[in-house]
Structure 1
Amino acid sequence: MPVISPNTNYIRPSPYRSAAPPRSPGPTPEEPLPQPPPVVLDDSKESTHEPCWALDAIRYSTIVGAFSLTSADLKLLKKVPRGDYEDDDHHDRRITRTQSQILSRHGQRIDFGFGSSGRLKHRGMPMYALANAPEQELYRNMSSGGTAVMKPFSLRQIRVRFLWPLPRGEEPSHEAYDEWVRVDPLYTRVQLAMAVARVFYRFVEANRLYLSQYHDYPWRLRPDVFYRVWLLGLERVDTNVFVADLKYVKDYPNE
């Protein structure tokens, strides 16, 4: 099974601090987007039978695997809270709107999902697949994957932001990570999703040790979280800031 090695040089980020350089203008238009990280395969042991958890990881992290998920399996993907939430049922609340959001108009959110009908519709797509699957495979499987989704925004660079909840009583209530991403008005839904997935990989690498400490917390970041998260969409919360909307399966069916 593919394994992502932990970052041995981890330094916990400061609370509420962006991972991007302060007041940075972002990457120049000529700067290429970073490539997906290499996936390291562990061939040290041969086995004729994959363990159940490894099969579940494949089902939740790949496009082919997603089509094998049952309705009961999909219900295990819970929406990751982005704002304040209640103690008992962790209901999601919308992030406080900025002045730019008050003037929001149609098209302030970009959704990602499978193009097929049925149980996968409107469920999002696996983050691992968005970072590692061939681009043409994503075009074949993503709903409206070839649509130029950045045209309405007239932006050349955006800050993609991820928020991961922390237990109540800890400060801050969310760990925030954002990163500049160069975009083009002709960027398709597939191209944007691939760029977002790469940012999520770096978010995981920067936070996996810190956030995995909360072993009894429902929304703790597991070391193998990259195989457990689906991207639902990006929502514009400021002029050039887009917050990712995520789903997460904490416990596989066969764990």
Structure 2
Amino acid sequence: MLTFALRRGAFISHKVLNSVCSSQRCWTSTLPLLSTPGYTSLSLFSAAGPSFLLSRPASRSPSFLTCTQPIHTSSVRLKKRPTPEPPPQEPKTPKPALYLGYSSVLPFACPTLFMAFNESFIPELAYAQVAYGASFLSFLGGAKWGFALPPSSPAEPDWMNLANSLVPSLMAWAAMLMSDTIVSGINMVIIGLGIALHNDLSLLPTYPTWFKKQRFIVTFVAILTLIGTLVIYGNYPEKKLFSEENDE
């Protein structure tokens, strides 16, 4: 009887406490009850209304219903991440450099195309290619020298940069000395163009990106046309551009 009376009194006191509890009561107030040894709990959650916590002792006894504060179960909105800035765009090729740079391949390509169309090797046109190739190499060497001189230039005027700028001019001079034999002169121009391109892309990588792309395309087309002239020289008969007239 004494045990029954104690349990009955605990039940009545618990009901009185529940009636006093308001809807603003924090759900953490039930933690002491849950942490009490000998109790098991069951939580019922609802997104539309209050949640209830069902607690009972481990032994057989009437269940205890505890009112708790409603819990917001909706997902937390994530903060809007800042849009990453796009990478800086490379500067475009200036129009004067675009037109003048790509038109510089015409003196290389036109003689080869003319000889291929006529199916004959014309020495005057081949010599014109060698002479233009020599002047083109000298221009590339001067561009390297001038690029290294300004104080704000990323290329220092040291032995490496200035000496490399002289190599194309020296090879152009050698090509003109070999102009009596067209094959040797063309080969020297081809070698000079390859060395100048290697210096521009590897030893002096501080040129603008658009200039390096243009240099590669122009050099590739120039070397291709010079090789075409050598092929025409070995496979087609020689023909003078201007016929020689002997006045007797």
Q: Per the shorter chain, which TM-score range?
A: under 0.3
Higher gyration radius (CA): 2
TM-score normalized with structure 2 length = 0.26
More helix by share: 2
